[in-house]
Amino acid sequence: MEKRKTYIVVTALFVLYIVAVLCLCLLDLSDNTPDLPKYLMGIPTDKVAHFTMYFAYPVVCWLLFTYNKQIKISRKYLFSTIFITGLAFAAFTETAQGLLTTYRDADPMDMLANFLGISTACILMKLLEKPATKVCDSIQSYMHSKLYK
């Protein structure tokens, strides 16, 4: 993909992620949900799902802020911005579940799972930022060489 057009891909990925989480959190999917075990390694399955959903937020945000040059954010504030916006998004979805739906509840334990997912991913992204940047840059260069010879 052309390097200057990478921002379109990362922005689309971010938007798709946000829409997917909103759909999973706010739509009534009870008729279409497969029968899952109640616990996974002793942890309630829905808490594992919340952790996983919000674990992806810092990764997608990092891609957006790193590769969309139209978004200007200081590297100094990158992870604090990702962390704070992630918590705000998680709080919004939990509150919206309680206020906007009759089939979902705002659960403090879900919010805790969201917080743990965001926190864990932020820490890992901070620790792995340099290798992740190298991998993403390599992928970007490879795609550019294949698509735009």
Under 8 Å between Cβ of 27 and 93: no
Q: Is residue 146 part of a domain?
A: no
Average pLDDT score over residue span 25-45: 74
Summarize pLDDT for 61-85 with one digit per residue, the tens: 999 988 877 778 888 899 999 999 9
The reported pTM is 0.83
Give me the percent of the chain exceeding a pLDDT of 70. Answer: 89
Q: If pLDDT is split at 50, 70 and 90, which confidence band does 138 have?
A: confident
Which pLDDT score is estimated for 142? 78
Number of domains in the chain: 1
Query: What is the pLDDT at residue 1?
Result: 44
How far is 123 from 58, CA to CA, in rounded Å? 9
In a domain, 142, yes or no: no
Range(s) of the domain holding residue 124 = 3-27+37-137
Judge contact between 38 and 44, C-beta under 8 A: yes
DSSP letter, residue 39: E
For 65-69, the CB contacts below 8 A with 24+ separation are 66/10, 66/133, 66/136, 67/6, 67/7, 67/9, 67/10, 67/136, 67/140, 68/6, 68/7, 68/10, 68/11, 69/7
Classify residue 85: in a domain, yes or no: yes
In a domain, 148, yes or no: no
